[in-house]
Each structure stands twice: as structure tokens, then as C-alpha cells.
């Protein structure tokens, strides 16, 4: 089976002046179609750095990243942006919706970059809002929605391009526990509809929704366990 994500000895350093800060120190990882993976690890262990590379928002320093069979390790920023628009749906902790736009306009935004006609944009955005059960709020601005509703709009936006992979970096980090459960049920539904989902969380309860848990420590994978192994210990 072909990996959706294939990483070989992936390394990433940040530079503060000439000072090198190595963050990812040789990650080897394969994620297959329709997996639901939780990425865990202490604060500062490199989870967001890894997600940003997986999402083609940042470039790697060394090693190899193959996304759906395409080697994206050394791609230019422009090519990476194209890949991102085609393949990736990103959900962030801080939601990142545009405050002046309605829910529908926020969801439709990625389709503008993809060059889709206005009629089709609105139809597809509405379809996604139905999927996250917010069709009746399509004209509301973010400040007229609750935190959980805003995150559902963000998830609808992440899905609208029909990406091959959904990346969610602490999607429940700003939500209360009841709303977090709703968002995790939604991500579970999305996974069951056939999407590959990678979720970052530092909460064991939230990671419990995933079928596989990968733990990072100091820029390396410390453990990688499927659900069955997690239950039997
Ligand atoms: P996590 O998401 O696991 O908390 P991050 O990937 O955000 O970890 O950060 C890993 C390390 O890299 C931290 O030490 C952080 O301070 C550092 N770091 C993250 N982003 C940058 C950046 N843009 N420039 C410099 N250092 C960074
Ligand atoms: Mg982080």
C-alpha cells in the first residue's frame, strides 16, 4: 500500500542568527490512506514544526518527504503552495477565520485560490457547512458564532478542497471539554467518510479518538502504537 505521507530521516533546524536550533532530528514515518493518527509529545518537542512541514507550510532542512507519491522535499515555495491547495486541509488551534467574512465566505475561500466559479464555490461551501451541521448559520460572521461553531466552520473550510489529508494542530486547544468532544466526534465522522486525519494534541482523552498514537520527544519518535497495542498495553 502506498503511503499518503512518507518521511525519511526528516530534519528541521531553525536559525537564530548563526545559532542552529535543531528541532526535528531524523524522523522516519509512514501514514497510510484513511489512517487516523494522533501526534503527541511535550510542549516544544516539535509537533507543530512537523505539522507545518507535513502541510507544506514550511520546508524541511534535510531528509525526504514524499506526499502521495510526490517528492516535495526540495520544492519551491510556489509549487509547495499548489500542493498545499490540492492535497491539504489544515485546522488550527486559533481557528484562523477571517473576521470580516461570513461562515460561507470563509469556507469558500480556498476555492477562490483554486479558480472555481462563484456559483460552484457557494454550492460546495454550503455542502460543507451542511456536513458540519452549520448550514443555518452560513451568513454569520465569526464573532456571531461560538468557539465550537467557529472550529466547525474551520473544519468545513479544511474539507472544501477535497484534500487527501486533514491536519489538525490542537484543534480543541481553545475549547471547553464538552465542545471538544463535539469536535472530536466530527473529526471521527470525517475519518469514517474516508479521510486521512493527523491530529496534534497533548490530551490523552482527545488522542483516544485516534487509531494510532505517535509520540515525539526531543525531535525524535519515541513510540508509535496502533489502537489494539494501546489497549493491550
Ligand atoms: P510543539 O508544537 O511540540 O510545542 P514546536 O514545533 O512549536 O513544538 O517548537 C519546537 C521548538 O522549535 C521549540 O523550542 C520552539 O521554541 C522552536 N521554534 C518553533 N518555531 C520556531 C521558529 N519559527 N523560529 C525559531 N524557533 C522556533
Ligand atoms: Mg504546537
Mutate-to-test residue for ligand 1 from 17, 21, 27, 50, highest number of ligand atoms within 8 A of CB? 21
Residue 49 CA to ligand 1 center (angstroms) comes to 6
What are the sequence ranges of the domains in the chain? 34-61+76-229
Q: For residue 113, what pLDDT band results from cuts at 50, 70 and 90? A: confident
Residue 145 cell numbers, joined = 458564532
pLDDT one-digit tens code per residue, 184-232: 999 999 999 999 999 999 999 999 999 999 999 999 999 999 987 766 6
Question: 55, 198 in Cβ contact below 8 A?
Answer: no
The larger pLDDT score, comparing residue 105 to residue 232, is at: 105
pLDDT value at 164 more than 60? yes
Looking up cell 489497549, which residue turns up?
231
Ligand 2 ion: Cβ-proximal residues, 5 Å cutoff: 47-48
> Whose CA is closest to 195, among 4, 30, 33, 32?
33
pLDDT one-digit tens code per residue, 8-37: 999 999 999 999 999 999 999 999 999 999
Alpha-carbon span 3 to 126, nearest angstrom:
31
pLDDT value at 233 more than 60? no
Q: Which ligand is nearest to the CA of 39?
A: 1
The larger pLDDT score, comparing residue 12 to residue 95, is at: 12
For ligand 1, atom 7, the nearest C-alpha belongs to 48
**Ligand 1 pocket member 232 (CB < 6 A):** no
The larger pLDDT score, comparing residue 61 to residue 230, is at: 61
Characterize the bridge pairing of strands 88-92 and 165-169. Answer: parallel
pLDDT value at 111 more than 90? yes
Instruction: Give me the chain's average pLDDT, please.
Output: 94
Which pLDDT value is given to residue 114? 83
Does the ipTM surpass 0.95?
A: yes
Which pLDDT value is given to residue 203? 92
Q: Which CATH architecture has domain 34-61+76-229?
A: 3-Layer(aba) Sandwich (3.40)
For ligand 1, atom 20, the nearest C-alpha belongs to 49
Characterize the bridge pairing of strands 36-40 and 212-217. Answer: parallel
Q: Which atom of ligand 1 is nearest to the CA of 50?
A: 6
Q: For residue 94, what pLDDT band results from cuts at 50, 70 and 90? A: confident
**Ligand 1 pocket member 102 (CB < 6 A):** no
Predicted TM-score (pTM) above 0.90: yes
Which pLDDT value is given to residue 95? 81
For ligand 1, atom 18, the nearest C-alpha belongs to 14
Amino acid at each position: 500500500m502506498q503511503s499518503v505521507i512518507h518521511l525519511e530521516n526528516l530534519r528541521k533546524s531553525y536559525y537564530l542568527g548563526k545559532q542552529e536550533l535543531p528541532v526535528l532530528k531524523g524522523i522516519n514515518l509512514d501514514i497510510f490512506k484513511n489512517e487516523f493518527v494522533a501526534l503527541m509529545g511535550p510542549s516544544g518537542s516539535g509537533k507543530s514544526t512537523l505539522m507545518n512541514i507535513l502541510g507544506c507550510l514550511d520546508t524541511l532542512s534535510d531528509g525526504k518527504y514524499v506526499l502521495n507519491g510526490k517528492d516535495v522535499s526540495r520544492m519551491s515555495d510556489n509549487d509547495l503552495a499548489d500542493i498545499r491547495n490540492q492535497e491539504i486541509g489544515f485546522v488550527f488551534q486559533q481557528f484562523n477565520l477571517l473576521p470580516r467574512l461570513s461562515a460561507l465566505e470563509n469556507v469558500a475561500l480556498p476555492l477562490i485560490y483554486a479558480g472555481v466559479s462563484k456559483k460552484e464555490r457557494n454550492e460546495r461551501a454550503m455542502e460543507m457547512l451542511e456536513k458540519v451541521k452549520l448550514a443555518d448559520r452560513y451568513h454569520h460572521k465569526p464573532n456571531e458564532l461560538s468557539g465550537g461553531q467557529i472550529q466547525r466552520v474551520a473544519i468545513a473550510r479544511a474539507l472544501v478542497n477535497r484534500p487527501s489529508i486533514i491536519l489538525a494542530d490542537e484543534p480543541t486547544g481553545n475549547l471547553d471539554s464538552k465542545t471538544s468532544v463535539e469536535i472530536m466526534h466530527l473529526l471521527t465522522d470525517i475519518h469514517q467518510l474516508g479521510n486521512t486525519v493527523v491530529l496534534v494534541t497533548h490530551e490523552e482523552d482527545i488522542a483516544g479518538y485516534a487509531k494510532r498514537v505517535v509520540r515525539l520527544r526531543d525531535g525524535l519518535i519515541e513510540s508509535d502504537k496502533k489502537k489494539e497495542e494501546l489497549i493491550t498495553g
